[in-house]
Each structure stands twice: as structure tokens, then as C-alpha cells.
Amino acid sequence: MKIDFQKIKYRREIINFVKKISKEFPEAEVFLVGGTVRDILLKQTDQMDYDFLIRKVPAKELEKFLSKLGEVNLVGKKFGVFKFLPAALIKKEKDSWDIALPRTEYSGGSGTRKDFNVQSDSNLLIEKDLSRRDFTINAMALSHITHNVERVTQNAESKNRYALCDMRYEIIDLFGGENDLKKKIIRAVGDPEQRFKEDYSRMLRGIRFACQFNFKIEEKTWRAMKKLMSHINDTLNGERLVPYETIAKEFLKSFYHAPLRAFDLYDQSEIFKFLIPEILKMKKCPQPKIYHTEGDVWQHTRLAFLNLDSKKFKKQFSSEKNSIELIIAILFHDIGKPYTIKTPEKNGTDRIRFSGHDQVGAKLFKKICKRLKFSSGPNFKFETSKAVWLVVNHSLIYQKEEMKNRTIEKYFFNEKYSGQDLLKLSFVDTLATVSKNSEINLESFYKMIQRIKKLKKLIKEKNRLPKSILDGNEIMKKFNIPSGPQIGKLLEILREAQLSGEIKTKKQAREFLKKVINEL
């Protein structure tokens, strides 16, 4: 694969960094390694992390010199890694570059990086360093990074300028990573069982890569994942080998990149069995066939994910990226059904019913989020409260009673939560609900869309509905009413009339409330 360095972010800073290292340490060998090389070859460089490996420079001398070039964080020093941010990027970037010495890692076989004995050696061959990595697509390096500087002649009044015009490189690929990139394959380096026993979190990372890049997991690697997945909860001296924080990061990223693919891979590898056994109760949980000919709750949930990528969905909501809270809410929106099911045979109901499944499901989902530490997933923001709010309200638009404008305002014009995500969840939930006549009833959804559009006509600035015409203090003063529940009730009635367009001025509001008070 040919590399176009012109499109690499911070190309100039990279060249300047290599230049300074080479000048200070003429014997040094500088490499770009791992995921950096993978992303460059895939031309996915917008959010790329930068990983360097430097040979033939002792650790103390390298650390001292890096501190002159920018900020050095020693958090990664235990594993032979310096966190470094060039001075030119301190005001632009938060994410540091990883600057590592060649290293070998000897695991005690427990399946955790905590059990690693890291040995850094500035003279260790690059080949030895690459052989310890997880997957072939992460086990490549770019070597001999050099540059030519072309002098650009300007007019007499301008200063001479220099343009970085070329970077020369060689790809070191001992394990077929470049070929696996071309074939879209996730393959472990060497023996997959050995790689995973060194660090069980690599199994989740492999699934995340499959989702992120839409790659297939190589058969031998996949068999090893399924064989060893039961170790994901192993402990050593009372501590988890794979922290929940790591699990949260890989889980959320997998679903964010490819929801349906993640759902299937987590199911097929039996990760759900070991991490979220509660969710498996959705399998074989029946639904009333009059509304759900698509199958059990599990099949309904999978169909909802399928619809998330459908033409109907994209037409309705354009191509905007879906939030991780929405995606995870889809996964758990019906988790309460198996816990609330009532059937004619066992409970004497007229049909299968799941009364209160949204509230029960939301409580259970919140506990799962807390257990798996979803909100603390490193480098990935997930707001549990937003996802739980979506789960508890996912059936809102199907309520039998006519919804008040004030209620629509509360749920679909809410600055704290996303009414748009609630509409998206309702839409895929409805599309996954196939009636006895193979029909999908979107009447309630489109009715809600129209009512929201009507309310949006009242918006004049900052995408907010107008403020209430009168506040509680004004009502108490005008009508000589003491503070209490009656004021709240009057405010609700007044707001509904305002959103319905019945009143538009303070005078109209006072006259309206006078009539209401007389009738109460």
C-alpha cells in the first residue's frame, strides 16, 4: 500500500521531531509503529494516535531530551513508554504521543497486563518488539523515516521559505499485517491462544476492531476467542484481570462503530453470558403474535438494530451519527420484558402482557451500567442517565391518552436529555414490531413528528420554546393566592394554553387565568 504523507495530520511536527532526535542521537532509529501504521495504511488518519519506537537511545537520555522538546508524562514509564506532547501542539492537542523503547513482555500466564514483566532494551531488534503485539494489523512499523527539504524561491521582498516535500520510509511487516488489511482480516500474531492468555482483554479488542473496520475475524483466532472467553471474569489476588473500565471501553466502542455486528459477535462469542447474563433472558421470551410476528424479544431487539441502518431510518433522520446512549438504549430497551411477562396460561391475562416493563427494565439497566462501569470507560464518554431515560420512556408515544403539549415540551424539548434520540428509539422499535398482517404501524410516530413541528413554529431564538408568559410570583401577586400546589397547577394549565396558541400576551394570560380560577 502506498502512503500519502501529505494527508497525515501533524506531518510537519512529525518530521521536525524525527529531525531533532536524529540530530541529537545520530545512531538513533525512529519508527512509527502499531495502530499508527495501521491507520495510515487504511487512510484513517483524522483521529489517529501517534506511537513511536526509538532504538539505540538509552531511556534516561531519551527522557531528558524529550523534556526539552515538550511535555513528558511518566505514567507509561512502567511499560517502557513515555507520554509526550511536542511544544508546538500543547495548545492544540490533549492526547499525547507514545514514545517507546523496544521491549519484550513476559507474562505469568494469568491473562492480565498487571502480570507482565516488561523489559525495555534500547538495542532490542524491532522484530522482537513487533512479535509481542496482539494482531497482525497492529504489528507493523515504518522505518527509516527521513525527509527532503526543498527550498522555495520567493520574490525579492519575501523571506526564503522551506517546504517539506517528501518522506521516505520502509514498511516492516513480519506477520502479514498489510495483506490482512487488504483482505480485511483480524488475525492474532502467532498462536492466538497464547496471545489471549497474555492479556484476555485482547479478545474484546479484536471484536472491536472487527466492528470498527468491518473486518472478518480469522477462523483460528475466532475459535481461540470463543474457547477462552470464560476467562474474561478471572481474578488474581481478589482483583479482576480485565478491569471493568477496559471492558466498558471495548464494549461501547464496538457498539458505537457497528451496533448490529457487535450484537451478533457478542452473542456468538458468548460474551453476554459472562458479562451481562440478564440480557439473555430476552431469548425465547415470547411476545403477543398479534403485534410481534418477528419473534421473541431477542429477535425484536436484533431487528431494531437492523433498522438502525435501514434506508427508512436514514431518510427520516438523515445521515447524522447516532449517539452511543441511543445505541445502548436500543440494546436494553426491552430487557424488562422477561421480568414482567404475564401470559393467559399462567396469569389468566387476555394475551401476553409486559406491564411496567419499561420501568423495571430501566432499573435493571442502570444496575448493569453501574456494574460494568459504562460511565468510566476510558477515552469514551457515555452518560448513563441519558440512556436510562431513553429506556424508561421508549414507549411514551404509544400511550393511549392524547398527549398534552406541555408533556411534549417536557420530553422532546429537553436540554438535559435528547428528544431526537427518543424519536429514533421509537422509530426503530416500531419498525421492529411486525403485526399479524405483516404491517408496521407508524401512525403514532408520524403524529408525534407533526405535533413537534407545530410546536417548533413557536421557536424564535436559540432553538428554545418561548418562556412562560407569567411565572409563579406574578400569579400569586395578581390573584392573591398563597404559594402551594394550586400555583403549580395554574402554571401547567397556562403553559398548555400558551403552547396551543390560545394566549400570546400577559394580558391574555391574566384574563385566561381569571376564568380558570373562577371555574376551579
pLDDT in tens, 424-454: 999 999 999 988 877 788 999 999 999 999 8
| 75 and 173 together in one domain | yes
| 421 and 293 together in one domain | yes
pLDDT at 91: 81
Query: With left for phi above 0 and alpha for psi between -120 and 50, is residue 282 left, alpha or beta?
Result: alpha
| 307 and 242 together in one domain | no
User: Which of 275, 301, 324 lies at the terminal end of a domain, its last residue?
Assistant: 275
pLDDT grade for 214, boundaries at 50, 70 and 90? very high
Q: pLDDT tens digits, residue range 327-358?
A: 999 999 999 999 999 999 999 999 999 999 99
Instruction: Report whether pLDDT(114) > 60.
Output: no
pLDDT at 193: 97
Q: Read off the pLDDT of each residue in 349-373 and give the average, rounded to a whole number.
A: 95
Q: Which grid cell is 213?
A: 473496520
Instruction: Report whether pLDDT(164) > 80.
Output: no
Decide: 254 and 208 in contact? Cβ < 8 Å. Answer: yes
Segments forming the whole domain that contains residue 484: 472-519
- pTM confidence score: 0.86
User: Which of 134, 154, 183 lies at the terminal end of a domain, its last residue?
Assistant: 183
Mean pLDDT of the chain: 86
pLDDT at 12: 83
User: Which of 115, 150, 183 lies at the terminal end of a domain, its last residue?
Assistant: 183
What's the domain count of the chain?
Answer: 4
pLDDT at 150: 41
Of 125-134, 347-356, 488-497, the one with minimum mean pLDDT is 488-497
| 269 and 390 together in one domain | no
pLDDT at 144: 61
- Cα separation, 164 vs 151, in Å, equals 9
pLDDT at 368: 97
Whether residue 143 lies inside any domain: the answer is yes
Using alpha carbons, select from 198, 228, 30 the residue that is nearest to residue 115.
198
Decide: 349 and 342 in contact? Cβ < 8 Å. Answer: yes
Q: Where are the alpha helices (DSSP H) in 214-270?
A: 219-228, 244-257, 259-268
